Amino acid sequence: MEFSEMKTIWDSQNQEPLYAMNEAALHSIVRRKNEEWNRCLARCFALEIGVGLFCAALMLIYAAVLASGNQDWVIKPWGKTIAPSSWHYLGLLAAGGIWLYYAAYMYLARKRQQQRVETFDSSLRGDLDRALSQTEFEMTMIRDNAWRGLAPVWVASTLWMVVLFHLKGASLWGYLLVLAIAIASLVIVLARKQRLITKRYLPRQQELESLRAKLADTGR
Predicted pLDDT at 46? 93
Predicted pLDDT at 57? 93
Name the residue among 66, 95, 96, 61 with its Cα closest to residue 81. 66
* CB proximity list for 72: less than 8 A, separation 6 or greater: 81
Q: What is the pLDDT of residues 129-152, one digit of tens each?
A: 888 888 888 888 887 776 777 778
Alpha-carbon distance values, 72 to 139, 171, 175 (Å): 45, 19, 21
Question: Long-range contacts for 83-88 (Cβ within 8 Å, ≥24 apart)?
Answer: 84/167, 88/163, 88/166, 88/167
Neighbours of 24 (CB within 10 A): 12
CA distance 84 to 217: 69
| Stretches in the chain below the pLDDT threshold 50 | 1-2, 13, 15-21, 220
**End-to-end CA separation in angstroms for the chain:** 28
Give 201's DSSP letter.
I
Alpha-carbon distance values, 34 to 27, 109, 124, 135 (Å): 10, 18, 12, 10
Predicted pLDDT at 17? 43
Name the residue among 53, 50, 89, 49 with its Cα closest to residue 68. 89
Is residue 100 within 8 A of residue 51, CB to CB? The reply is no
Name the residue among 111, 64, 112, 67 with its Cα closest to residue 85. 67
